[in-house]
A and B are shown apart, each in its own frame.
Chain A
Amino acid sequence: MTDAVLSARPVPAILPRRGGFFGNLSDILWRNPKLLLFLMLAPPVLWLGVVYLGSLFALLLQSFFSIDEFSGLINRDFTLKTYGELLLPSNMDIIIRTVAMAAIVTLASAVIAFPIAYYAARYARGKWKVLFYLGIMLPLWSSYLVKIYAWKLILAKEGILTWLLGKLHLNWLLDAWLSLPVVGGNSLSVSFTGTFIVFVYVWLPFMILPIQAALERVPANLVEASSDLGASPGQTFRNVLFPLALPGIVAGSIFTFSLTLGDYIIPQIIGTSRLFIGQAVYAHQGTAGNIPLAAAFTVVPIVVMGFYLWGAKRMGAFDAL
């Protein structure tokens, strides 16, 4: 049968060249895969390499300049003086405050995220799976400022939280909390507690997704085997689930940690007047015009994240992304 078909319609073994500009161009690219690769890579690499990396290096370079205290002009000689300024007590305070906040926010996000991720990975099926997925994606992609705004509404003195606690006759609890030295303040919206809650809220989905991805790879019968062998639920969690979820938690913590380190809008809107790294950067580059110190401040999150990523890579966190 195939013989008949083939003989009925002879087809030339080599198709005629298409010719024309595009035909020739296509032929050239086919014969030189390297040229094609170069043409494909050139635009993105030029854009990211020149525009992005270029400005990043320019910024790092400026952190080695210093500012003349009298004239306010930037002195373009290589010096480590600006980095020395980072060690001043007032600046160290900012750095320690920010890193501590990032660490607490990361811990709290992990604790809140774990049950959601575990339920979504292990028990949610079919319709519920979709619901959980969208239930995590929608807050993740909702407007960042709107989320902060929602908390401004909630935490305001006349807002829903005070009202709710009043209905439950728990106002004394809030007042007692607000009178505590570090975490307290005039109202929740001008305290570190408020800043902390908003940070956790805004970054929580970034923690849930990688933990869920890690837990989905844990076979259910592993957990059953553990309980068959006599482990209590607590022991199963400590010895089986948690170690297997750890890469996911570390992967999620990369986001929560890095995002908290660099944020300057949340503490500005909901928080005290004491600065975080992001606010310090913003203040120094803006009104103060002290670009070198601002640049030196941005090096702190880069270095902290560098160490963090290095540690995370050793724990295998990148496989969970």
Chain B
Amino acid sequence: MRSDRSQSAPLGLKIAAACGLLFLHLPLLLIFVYAFTTEEKSYQWPPPGFTTQWFAVTWSRPDVWQALSLSVQVAAISTAVALVLGTLCAAAVSQTRFFGRETISLLVILPIALPGIITGIALRSAFNLAEIPFSFWTIVLGHATFCVVVVYNNAVARFRRTSGSLIEASMDLGADGFQTFRHVILPNIGTALLAGGMLAFALSFDEVIVTTFTAGQQQTLPIWMLEELVRPRQRPVTNVVAMVVVLVTLLPILAAYYLTRDGDQIAGAGK
């Protein structure tokens, strides 16, 4: 029934699409070139020379390592919280019908639908009112709040495709609720949770707007980068860090894609 099998796109459309994709990718590729430049004081192009010395310099920088380790810890704990909350919420919304179901899904999406600055300033003023000092945990609190939606989106899409009769069959065969969860539900939603968790990790690892409001003196890696963007002090080190960040965020996205590609949902569409 396909009538467009031999059709190819008009030339204009091809060019426009190709230019659009180039526009999306060339700036990121540029980062890779700048990581090797010998120029220290400006963003000069073409680079006067190439060197790998900045990798060694960056490697021996304690402030970069501290920022990186804080970011990883925050992202790990936020992802764990988001996994639990997102899965519970997705299970409740997709497996049962109850009053206010729509409101719950709206509530989950809200932290990401409203501009980040609103989430950030709302949390900051709430911490101030409640006299909670800024700490590691205030950052986690903010991150977990907007990470829930990513896990939730992935889990809900998978729950929809998981037949409810599987669960009933498991119960009929004598498994109790916990056994059903462990042996039937978890294997079914496992890859979706893994994908959602990875995207939540990437989201938290990269977050800067909410973090500027909920962090005290600590520097996550994005905050460190922001400082460098506002007041450039060590351009070569920033170049190297930027390149590493691009590479590191690439991996979870590719992995999440391969875990959910058989599904019909777009794993990241909810960002």
Contact = CB atoms under 8 A, between A and B. Distances in A.
Interface of A: 15, 18, 22-23, 25-27, 29-30, 33, 36-37, 40-41, 43-45, 47-49, 51-56, 58-59, 62, 112-113, 115-116, 118-120, 122-123, 132-154, 156, 158-160, 162-163, 201, 204-206, 209-210, 213, 220-221, 224, 233, 258-259, 261-265, 268-269, 278, 281-282, 285, 291, 294-295, 298, 301-302, 305, 321
Given A136-B24, A209-B266, A302 B43 contact: no
B219 interface: no
B24 A52 contact: no
B48 to A, nearest CB: 11
Contacts of B107: 45, 48-49, 52-53
B21 A153 contact: no
B189 interface: no
B121 A281 contact: yes
A308 to B, nearest CB: 11
Interface stretch (B49-57, B58-66, B84-92, B156-164): B84-92
Chain A facing B: main interface SS? helix
Nearest to A321: B269
A146 B246 contact: yes
Contacts of A36: 177
A143 B206 CA distance: 6
A243 B89 CA distance: 36
A211 B249 CA distance: 25
6 contacts: A47-B85, A118-B17, A142-B28, A149-B225, A150-B31, A221-B3
A48 B209 CA distance: 19
Contacts of A213: 266, 269
A51 B229 contact: no
Contact of B115 (A25, A205, A262): A262
Interface in B208-264: 208-209, 212, 222, 225-226, 229-230, 238, 242, 245-246, 249-250, 253-254, 257
Contacts of B253: 137-138, 141
Contacts of B226: 145, 265
B35 to A, nearest CB: 11
A251 to B, nearest CB: 10
Contacts of A37: 92, 96, 98
A49 B108 CA distance: 9
B20 A62 contact: no
Contacts of A147: 27-28
B176 A27 contact: yes
Contacts of A138: 25, 28, 250, 253
A265 B230 CA distance: 9
A78 B21 CA distance: 52
B123 interface: yes
A47 B110 CA distance: 13
Contacts of A139: 24-25, 28
B222 A143 contact: yes
A285 B125 contact: yes
A15 B145 contact: no
Interface in B35-53: 42-46
Contacts of A120: 17
Contact of A150 (B10, B28, B206): B28
B9 A119 contact: yes
Contacts of B176: 18, 22-23, 26-27, 30
Contacts of B271: 140-141, 206
Contacts of B31: 146, 149-150, 153
Contacts of A259: 115
Interface in B145-166: 145, 148
Contacts of B177: 25-26, 29-30, 36
Given A22-B178, A123-B8, A143-B222, 8 more contacts: A112-B23, A119-B9, A137-B268, A142-B246, A150-B242, A153-B45, A201-B23, A206-B271
Given A139-B28, A269-B229, A56 B118 contact: yes
A36 B171 CA distance: 15
Contact of B122 (A29, A49, A56): A56
Contact of B202 (A118, A119, A141, A262): A141
A224 B45 CA distance: 48
Contacts of B45: 153, 158-160, 162-163
Contacts of A45: 89, 104, 107
